[in-house]
Every structure is written in C-alpha cells, then in structure tokens.
Amino acid sequence: MADRLERSGVEILCVGTELLLGNILNGNARWLSEELASLGLPHFRQTVVGDNRDRLIALIQEIAQRSSVLIVTGGLGPTPDDLTTEAIAAAFSVPLKERADVWSDIEEKARSRGRTPGPETRRQALLPVGAEVLWNPTGTAPGMIWTPVPGFTLLTFPGVPSEMKAMWKATAAPWFRSSGLSQGVFVSRLLHFWGIGESTLAEQVADLLEGDNPTVAPYAGRGEVKLRITACADEPSKAWVLVDQTEQALRQRTGNLCFGVDQDSLASVVLKRLGQAGQTLSVAESCTGGGLGAQLTAVPGASSVMLGGVISYANAVKCDLLSVPEPLLEQHGAVSAPVAEAMALGVRRLTGSDWALSITGIAGPDGGTLDKPVGLVFVGVAGPDGCSSEMLRLGSTRGREWIRTVSAGEVLNCLRLRLLADASEGEEKEGSKARLSGLD
C-alpha cells in the first residue's frame, strides 16, 4: 500500500443494489457532501456499489491506496445482503469479533420495543478486531471508526438516513473536527429564482460563475433555478462575508427574480408575507388536483394563513361551490382567463379570505386541442385590490407532473409579485406623506 503522504481527501462509498437500480434516491451522498464541505474537508469522489462481496472488497482496497478517509453508508443490517462489515474486515484480512457491549445494546433496544432479537440480528454485533464502535442512538446497527492501515481511516453508517445523520452528528462530526484534515471552513448559501431559465440567468451572472472563492454554481429544477454560493476561509465569519458580498451582487442584477434562500420555497415565502400582514389565503384548483394546497400546507405554521381550498375538477363543482356562471363556461370553456378569475373570486367569497389563487388548465397527456393544447394553463389571483389572471403555455414535452408542479409555482409567484408591488406602493405613499409633512 501507498504511504500516508500519497493519500488525500475523503471519499464516499454508498452500498446497495437498490441504489444502482434506481429504486432509492441516493440522498445520503448529497447530505454527506454538504456536511464535508461545511467542515472544510476535501472531498474528491463518490461511488455506488451493489451488494456484492467481491466487488466491495476490491473497491475498499482500491480506495485505501488513494484516500485518507472513506465514509461508507449502507449494508449494516441483519439480512444476508448486508455485507459491508464483513467485506471491510476481509479487505484487510482482519477477523471479526462479537462485541458484548454492542450485543447488549441491541438486546436492550429490542426489549424496549417489545421484541426479542433473533440470531440474524446478532451478526450486527460483529466488528473487525481493533475497530471502535460508532454508536447508533436510534437503530440497532452500529457503525465503526477504524484505521486498518496507517494513514487510512474508514467510518461506516447504516443506509437509513435518520440513523446515519444522528450518528454523524454525535460521533463522526466531532472526530473530523479534531482530525486535522480540514482545509479551512466552507460555508454555502442557496438562492432560489423563479421566472428565468437557467441559461439566461447564467448569462446575466457569467462573470460571477467564473470566480474561485466564492464559487457560484447553477442548478435547475421544475420551473425554478438555484444558485449555490460557496466560500472558504480560515474561520466562518470571514467566509460568510464573502457569501454576503456575492449574494448582494447577484440580487442587484436579478431583482425580484430571486425569491428566497436556503430552505425557502415559493409557498413558504408567500405564507410568511401574508402572515406578517395579518392576511389569509384560499385556493381553487382544477388541473393541479390539490397540488397547490399541498405545497402550501407542507409549510409549518401554514394554518395561521391558509384557510382552505376547493378541488373543482368538474364544471358542476365550479358552478355549485365556486359560483362560476354556466354561461361563462359555455362561452369560454373551463380552461380560460375568465373562468380562472371567477374561480379565484368564488373561493375568496366562499372562505372569506383576503387573497385567493386559482388554477385551471390541460395537464395531459390527453385532452388537448389545436386551440387549447396540452400545457395551456390559466392562473388567477384575487385580492383586496381586484382580480387578475395569466396565461401559461408550458408545452407537452415535459409531462403531466411537470405541468402541474410549474403551474402551482407560477400562481404562487404571481401572488408574491403582487404582494411585493403592494408593499412597494405602500412605502412610496408613506414616503410621499413624510415629504409633504416636511413642507408644512
């Protein structure tokens, strides 16, 4: 094996055939990557391998020759395909030994849940000789911290995200902070944009995308574009100053296109603004079938603003519950600007909310015509200052769920911009009053 000086960086190895088949999204690698960045740890590679003992052994031996640290997730359970611990021991020709303290912990957890651990569970108490236990506070499968050869340390975690995160925070993160592997402190902030494509946004901020510290990286989603700002410094406060400066430059160029940071969503931003103003909201949906309401009610504390909604899929429901006039439906059709506005006004009257949103459209894959193709959507916003609507032409190529998700985002963004305009107008009026008062 190579000596310590030839090894560098941290690698992530995720174990599980279900990951290779795409049955499970590999969220663990993403979460670990962000944690490593926040700790200032150089991270160069990620690998996924199936539940195959020989491939796992070969891969571990390969990584041990080039990296200082290996983080392994998955394959620590009681089933026959949980091979991680056995393969790691075999990779370095070290025998496994049952740990009495681990077995005792497994038994205690099983009893607390009214169960008796079977013989298959006992294999989780086996660890390579010389390995330290990385305790699992919530599950039965422990991990390990082990340095099988000089200059190379590996840490193992279960694939269950909640267990992995709890173990990381309790044991692994403190170990990394004291390891001396850090190359400064990395901090990141994520900016969210709506109403602009990824390529257009990239053109507007091209020079900032070319920077080394901070770095700015774009990510595209369903109707949304994100820019991640990442800075490195010898201490967090200095790194955050760099992030703040870059964020200010990005906002100056993009204006109201940037709607939030980090965990913000269009729904959470709208609800926050309405909550601050002491105002309420309701929704009327057709093609989104409750998707808009789901986005809003997914936000903690939404009940203080969100009064309710109506899924008016059928025209009869639009008429009976939302008071949409039948002649309006006959003249313009359900997918039209007048009907979108009538739906918004109807649910506002029905619930007594300050604001109301509506969506009606053709999400496909069928139901489109030459005049009204799949992807044609109308959204409405009704509020204290009147009602308005917008037509969206979202196309059919990206599919039904994309149309539904983007439609919900578009109407939320319409309300966000209305609220921003109202707030700006209010500030102008206050400023005008102050100026006139100064002339008295």
pLDDT of residue 234: 85
Could you give the dihedral angle defined by the CA atoms of residues 175, 160, 12 and 99, in that order, rounded to the nearest 10 degrees? 50
**Model pLDDT for residues 261-303, shown as the tens digit of each residue:** 999 999 999 999 999 999 999 999 999 999 999 999 999 999 9
Most confidently modeled range among 79-93, 109-123, 424-438: 79-93
Please name the fold of domain 4-177.
Molybdenum Cofactor Biosythetic Enzyme; Chain A (3.40.980)
pLDDT of residue 294: 98
Phi/psi of residue 122, each to 5°? -65, -25
Both tokens assigned to 95: 């025998």
Asked whether 307 and 274 are in contact (CB, 8 A), the reply is: no
Q: What's the average model confidence in pLDDT over 359-365? A: 97
pLDDT of residue 6: 58
Both tokens assigned to 77: 């359970």
Q: How confident is the model at residue 361 (pLDDT cuts 50, 70, 90)?
A: very high
Q: How confident is the model at residue 434 (pLDDT cuts 50, 70, 90)?
A: low
Q: Which residues contact 189 (CB under 8 A, 6 or more apart)?
A: 228, 229, 243, 247, 261, 262
Both tokens assigned to 187: 């901090």
Q: Where are the beta strands (DSSP E) in 122-207?
A: 126-128, 132-134, 143-149, 152-157, 185-194
How far is 348 from 38, CA to CA, in rounded Å?
45
Please name the fold of domain 266-426.
Maf protein (3.90.950)
**Model pLDDT for residues 365-402, shown as the tens digit of each residue:** 999 999 999 999 999 999 999 999 999 999 999 999 99
Kindly list the distances between the CA atom of residue 277 and the CA atoms of 90, 249, 298, 304, 420, in Å, as whole numbers in the listed order: 63, 29, 20, 12, 12
Phi/psi of residue 146, each to 5°? -145, 135
Q: What's the average model confidence in pLDDT over 25-34? A: 92
- Domain segments of the chain as ranges: 4-177, 185-261, 266-426
Lowest mean pLDDT of 153-162, 226-235, 352-361, 430-439, name the range. Answer: 430-439
- Judged against a pLDDT cut of 50, whether residue 21 lies above it is answered with yes
Domain 185-261 has what CATH class? alpha beta
Both tokens assigned to 18: 């279900």
Could you tell me the pTM of the whole model? 0.78
Q: Say whether 395 sits in a helix, a strand or coil.
A: coil
User: Of all residues in the chain, what percent carry a pLDDT higher than 90?
Assistant: 77
Report residue 149 CA to chain centroid gap. 37
Average pLDDT, the chain: 92
